[in-house]
Amino acid sequence: MLYFMKDGERIECRPILRKGEVGQTVVLTNVVLQDHQKLAPYQQPTVFLIYQKHEEEGWYVLRDPEGKEVKVHWDYGRDLYDATAWAQWNDLRVREKLARKQRKIEHLEGVGATLKDILVRQGARLVTKEEAKALGIKL
């Protein structure tokens, strides 16, 4: 299961497991490829179409973007996600990741401004690289 935390809440995307249906578009992502030799050649994420489902034997036939068929056991379903649900989940994850980075940048800018203010109050003179060069200060 894929998840990330947002505002203390766990945002999840659940795998299809044995619930995949013929005609469903699924995404392969975040797998340990040594456990999945048939899927090792594919980049992650990769989109597949469930072309056939054989419930009595417990396997799917997937079609990759080039139309190649890959027969995989239902165990692979733990690393396959409904494409629409995964796209929505991933969009939220990316937006949250960017928001966290922006908050961190704003926090660090505030810390930098505070440190600069403290140094100036203590009598330090802050100069840019260009000013340092003009003053003959080696960096």
**Which contacts (CB < 8 Å, 24+ apart) does range 58-61 have?**
58/18, 60/20
Confidence at residue 42, expressed as pLDDT on a 0 to 100 scale: 85
Q: Which residues contact 131 (CB under 8 A, 6 or more apart)?
A: none
What CATH number is given to the structural domain containing 60? 2.30.30.90
Percent of residues, the chain, with pLDDT higher than 90: 53
Confidence at residue 35, expressed as pLDDT on a 0 to 100 scale: 63
Same domain, 13 and 76: yes
Domain assignment of residue 103, given as a range: 88-135
**Total domains in the fold of the chain:** 2
Of 67, 83, 99, which one is at a domain's C-terminal end?
83
Same domain, 6 and 66: yes
* Confidence class for position 8, pLDDT limits 50, 70, 90: confident
Percent of residues, the chain, with pLDDT higher than 70: 96
Q: How far apart are CA 80 and CA 89, in angstroms?
A: 14
Length of the chain: 139
Q: Is the pTM of this model over 0.75?
A: no
Q: Which residues contact 27 (CB under 8 A, 6 or more apart)?
A: 45, 46, 47, 48, 80, 81, 82, 83, 86, 87
Same domain, 126 and 76: no
